[in-house]
Amino acid sequence: MIQVLGKTFDILDFLAANQGEMVTLSQIEEACGIQKTTLSNILKTLEESGYVTHPQKRKGYRLGYKFYMMAGSQFVFKKLEEISSDEMRLLYDIFKETIVLACEHGGKRLVLKVVECTEGITARISHSDDLYQSATGRVILANYPENKVRTIVSQIGLPSEHSWSDVRSQEDLYRELATIRKEGFSVTSDHLDIIGIAVPILCGRDPVASLGVCLPKFRCTTSKITLIHNVLDECALSISKKITETDFTK
Residue 1 is predicted with a pLDDT of 46
Q: Give ranges for CATH 3.30.450.40 in the chain.
A: 73-245
| pLDDT tens, position by position, 214-225 | 999 999 999 999
pLDDT beyond 70 at 250 = no
Question: How is the chain split among helix, strand and coil, in percent rounded to 5?
Answer: 50, 20, 30
| 3-state SS assignment for residue 23 | strand
Percent of the chain scoring above 90 in pLDDT: 59
Rounded to the nearest 10 degrees, how much is the dihedral formed by the CA atoms of 245, 136, 233, 92? -90
Q: Give ranges for CATH 1.10.10.10 in the chain.
A: 3-63
Task: Convert 88-119 to b/e letters by CB count within 10 Å (16 or more is b).
Answer: beebbeebebbbbbbbbeebebbbbbbbebee
Residue 60 is predicted with a pLDDT of 87
3-63 belongs to which CATH class?
A: mainly alpha
Q: Which fold has domain 73-245?
A: Beta-Lactamase (3.30.450)
| 3-state SS assignment for residue 250 | coil
Mean pLDDT (whole number) for 152-180:
95
Mean pLDDT (whole number) for 49-75:
77
| pLDDT tens, position by position, 14-26 | 988 887 788 899 9
Residue 21 is predicted with a pLDDT of 84
Average of per-residue pLDDT values in the chain: 89
